[in-house]
Amino acid sequence: MARIITDECISCGTCEGECPTSAIAPGAEHYEINAETCVDCGACESACPVGAIIEE
């Protein structure tokens, strides 16, 4: 299980710096979470200003 980033993302980049496993990076449309490296800690979800990160 990993968290995912929805289309609500405004690409502010805040979550990228919060992730302990560097699982977040800019994608084609918006930032994306690598499900292989995400440990589901929730730090990014708390940091996102627009609530774009949700549990799958």
Q: How far is the CB of 28 from ligand SF4 (least distance, A)?
A: 14
* Residue from 3, 4, 17, 25 in contact with ligand SF4 (CB under 6 A): 3
Q: Is 17 in the site for ligand SF4 (CB under 6 A)?
A: no
- H or E element that contains 46: helix 43-47
Q: How far apart are CA 41 and CA 22, in angstroms?
A: 12
Radius of gyration of the chain (CA): 10
Q: Can you give the binding site for ligand SF4, defined by CB under 6 A?
A: 3, 5, 9-15, 18-21, 23-24, 30-31, 33, 38-44, 47-48, 50, 52-53
